[in-house]
Amino acid sequence: MFALYKKELQSFFFSPFAYVLASLFMFIFSVSFISAIADMDSNTLKFSFPNIFYNNFFYFIFIIPILTMRSFADERRGGTEVLLLSSPLSVPKIVLAKFLSVVTVYLFMMLTSLFFPIYIAATGAVQWSSLICAYLGFFLWGLVCIAVGMLLSQLTGNAIIAAILGEIIMEGLLFLDLFGATRLVAAYPKLNSLITWFSMQRRFIYFSEGMFRFEDLIFFLSAAVVVICWIIIAIEKRRYSRS
């Protein structure tokens, strides 16, 4: 499993792919960072990263499908899917290795943003409790989006289609709160409560306010695990249909 994980990482870092996405990620955060400073009313810099995380997740959602679109689609396009599935590795290990490799790239992108709080800590004040919770919430939300993107890559077998569908679905998840607040849904309290319970945006708000709740942690991890299980089932079904 480690060999496949290493191979997947090399496909990211031995090409400009990961660095271009990380640069785009940094560019988005830099623009928000500069805008936040420009809008300050006082000369005292009290920086709260959660607002930037929250405001930029809308833009960051455009990056995640690009990161995951090749995970399984390239194997099918390049004709290496059969070789991979016939290897000694089990399907769960294959999926986990690919998932962890994408998560590693995702962590690399997040680590590049540490430049901002380090800079602020040297010149102003950082709300460390909110910062840590925001990073954790941002990471957990990203895990679910990565799993969804990989599932689409497996189901469609086409990287471009997987990226487009990923954008649509992830934007839909992002605006689940707005859908729950519509008059049609609000008229049915139980349906509204169900939609609100599944809202990842609402759960991230707690992290952004410096509130760590095990309920939200379990929700994000469970959602990622469920989607990963769907990927395994989809691959097993495809393999058995071939045989």
- The torsion of the CA quartet 153, 102, 218, 209, rounded to 10 degrees, works out to -110
**For the chain, what's the residue count?**
243
Give residue 179's pLDDT.
72
Q: How far apart are CA 36 and CA 34, in angstroms?
A: 5
Give residue 101's pLDDT.
93
DSSP per-residue string spanning 62-116: TTHHHHHTHHHHHHHHHT-HHHHHTSSS-HHHHHHHHHHHHHHHHHHHHHHTTHH
The mean per-residue pLDDT over the stretch 175-199 comes to 73
Amino acid identity for residue 241 in this structure: S
In the predicted model, is pLDDT for residue 206 greater than 90?
Answer: no
158 — pLDDT class (breaks 50, 70, 90): confident
In the predicted model, is pLDDT for residue 45 greater than 50?
Answer: no
φ, ψ dihedrals at 126, nearest 5°: -115, 135
> For residue 186, what are the β-bridge partners?
none
CA angle centred on 24, ends 50 and 226, rounded to 5°: 65
* In the chain, where the domains are located: 2-31+44-242
Instruction: Kindly report, residue by residue over 7-24, the tens digit of the pLDDT.
Output: 888 888 888 888 888 888
The mean per-residue pLDDT over the stretch 37-49 comes to 56
User: Where is average pLDDT lowest: 4-13, 36-45, 50-59, 119-128?
Assistant: 36-45
With the C-alpha atoms ordered 71, 73, 75, 78, is the resulting torsion angle positive or negative?
A: negative
41 — pLDDT class (breaks 50, 70, 90): low
> For residue 47, what are the β-bridge partners?
126
Residue closest to 110 by CA, chosen among 26, 232, 213: 26
